[in-house]
Amino acid sequence: MTTDVLARVPLDEITAQARQVRFGRAVLTLAAAVLFGLGWVTSRAFAVLWLVFAWSWTAVRVGWEAEHGPSRGRQITSLTAERDHWREAAKRLGA
């Protein structure tokens, strides 16, 4: 039974194609694949670390504002936006 399976395998064609493979090119391809994989893993790690940092920073800021109120700059920005909104509303009403 095993000989029947081996008889159907084109060993001569496989051998001919295997002899055409260049060792140097195969090694360079494997090295490039390893370096690509390392780069991909590194980029994913930095993306996750950035997300963790940004989330933590925002959580601290939100907690600080919940306890102490918004910073002076954020208060001014909010009030300026509100003032601009009411000016636009007044212009629409013709005032």
State the chain's mean pLDDT as an integer. 90
- pLDDT tens-place string over residues 53-71: 999 999 999 998 889 888 8
* Closest to 10 in 3D by CA, of 27, 18, 57: 18
C-alpha to C-alpha distance for 61 and 49, rounded to whole angstroms:
18
Rg (CA), the chain: 33
- pLDDT tens-place string over residues 30-59: 999 999 999 999 999 999 999 999 999 999
Q: What are phi and psi of 70, to 5 degrees?
A: -65, 155
pTM, to two decimals: 0.51
- pLDDT tens-place string over residues 15-27: 888 888 889 999 9
